[in-house]
Structure formats: C-alpha cells, structure tokens
Amino acid sequence: DSGVTQTPKHLITATGQRVTLRCSPRSGDLSVYWYQQSLDQGLQFLIQYYNGEERAKGNILERFSAQQFPDLHSELNLSSLELGDSALYFCASSVAGTGTYNEQFFGPGTRLTVL
Amino acid sequence: DAKTTQPTSMDCAEGRAANLPCNHSTISGNEYVYWYRQIHSQGPQYIIHGLKNNETNEMASLIITEDRKSSTLILPHATLRDTAVYYCIVRVLWAPYNQGGKLIFGQGTELSVKP
C-alpha cells in the first residue's frame, strides 16, 4: 500500500459524458501527478500540482483539467469523453515538486471505460 | 531528459538473480537513473535510483557503468512476485520550475520469473 488513494476504482460511462477522478496523496506530500496509461500510448504524464499550484503540464488534452485543493487532494476532470479516453489513470504523490525526496508513490489507479 | 533503451522482455528462473540492462548513452552529467516497476495494472512502484555510484537497497542493486552510458538493475533472488514491467528512467534531480518532477516512461522490460 503506497498511501495514495484513488476513487473510484472503476468507471464506465458513455461518449460525450464528463467524469471526475479523485486522488488523495500520502500524508505530508505536497505534489500530485496524474498519468494516463492506455494500450497504445503506454504511461504518459498529464499534469503536476505542487501545493495547490500547477507545476508542469504534459500531454493533457484541452478537454481534461485538474486542480489541487487546500487539503492537497486532487481531482482530474475529463469531459466530452471519447472512446480513446478509455485508459487507466494513475495519481502519484511526492514530498517535493522536484529535487531530492521526489520519489513518487503511485495510487492503484482508476480504470475508465468509455462506451 | 535522456532516452533509454531496454530489452522488450526477459525471463528469469525463480531464485536466480535477474539482471535487467538499460542503455542511456546520451545521459547528461546531472541526470540520475531511476528504476520503477509495474506489476500487472497496478500503480508503478519506485525501486532505486543513482547518479554514478552503485546503489543497493532492500529491493535491488543498481550498477552504473563508469561512463554512465548504461546500467543494470539486479534483483538478487527473483521470486514469482517480481514478475512485472521494469522501467528505466533518466532525469535530472533538480528540474526547472515549470518542468517539475514528471517521470517519462518508455516501454520497459517485461520480466517473467518462472518456477
């Protein structure tokens, strides 16, 4: 158990819909990262927040957005869903935004299926 | 971040040492070598990281060549539970503010530990 929690574990929805994935980082960790893992793209970095502020952006679609709240939990919002958005979505956390103590601890993931 | 090259798959007999190679010939002087693994569809798990000296922890050993162009992750006594995809990642410890601490995953090596 990494100490990172993600809800829900599974999500099945239809094209065009909007969903919210939630992540609670390990106690004391200030950074939250979101990754997407699909069969054809592998594990891809989406976005990072550090202490409530966006720190880095990866290949995140405009239809996707994220935020980190004052209690440090984070939400990833996916809208206008397409079949290709079906994937495993992982959240990870680390103590720092970069540098030492940046070992990332991953949650168990949310499996999103878009029908 | 430097690119890495890993074999697609490897087999190892249970109880034997598993030696997983990684080439990173374009690594820069300030880049570290990190290893993570992902057991089937679970969140990736940090294993070890190093700069130029060999490193050992309770999970594995990391051997980095003197020219730092390649490294080997060693699992000294592989068990069936070590069957996973192993990712070798090269990145700077201190990234620019807007690059944060993201991890860039390649395809990894699928290690199968057999009885």
Q: Is B41 on the interface with A (CB under 8 A)?
A: yes
**A104 vs B contacts (CB less than 8 Å):** 44, 46, 101, 103
Mean pLDDT over the full length of chain A: 94
What is the reported pLDDT for B30? 87
Distance from CA of B110 to the nearest CA of A (A): 13
Nearest Cα residue in chain B from A6: B43
Chain B residue nearest residue A41, CA to CA: B107
Give the pLDDT of residue A101: 60
What pLDDT does residue B33 have?
94
For residue A46, the model assigns a pLDDT of 96
The confidence score (pLDDT) of residue B93 equals: 78
Neighbours of B66 (CB within 10 A): 6
Residue type, A53: E
pLDDT of the residue at B92: 84
Spell out which residues of chain A touch residue B87, defining contact as CB-CB under 8 Å: 43
Nearest CA-CA distance, residue B106 and chain A, Å: 8
Average pLDDT over residues A27-48: 93
| A12: number of Cβ within 10 Å | 12
Q: Nearest chain B residue to A50 by CA: give it.
A: B100
Percent of chain A with pLDDT over 90: 86
Q: Looking at residue A40, what is its pLDDT?
A: 82
Phi, psi of B99 (to 5 degrees): -105, -15
B45, B101, B105 ranked by CB distance to A42: nearest: B105
Is A105 an 8 Å CB contact of chain B?
yes
Question: What is the Cα–Cα distance from B54 to B72, expressed in whole angstroms?
Answer: 10
pLDDT of residue B102: 87
pLDDT in tens, A58-72: 989 999 999 999 999
Q: What is the pLDDT of residue B1?
A: 63
CA nearest to B30 within chain A: A99
Give the separation between CA A56 and CA A44, rounded to whole angstroms: 13
Verify whether the Cβ–Cβ distance B43 to A56 is below 8 Å: no
Query: Which candidate, B2, B6, B58, B59, places its Cα nearest to that of B33?
Result: B2
Nearest to B43 among A2, A48, A58 (CB): A2
Strand ranges for chain A from DSSP E: 5-7, 10-13, 19-24, 31-38, 42-50, 53-57, 64-68, 74-78, 87-94, 105-106, 110-114
For A31, the closest of B45, B101, B104 (CB atoms) is B101
Contact (Cβ atoms closer than 8 angstroms) between residue B38 and residue B44: yes
- Residues in chain B with pLDDT values less than 50: none
Q: Quick check: A9 pLDDT over 80? A: yes
- Position A21 pLDDT exceeds 80: yes
Q: What are phi and psi of A84, to 5 degrees?
A: -70, -10
Selected residue with higher pLDDT from A102 and A9? A9
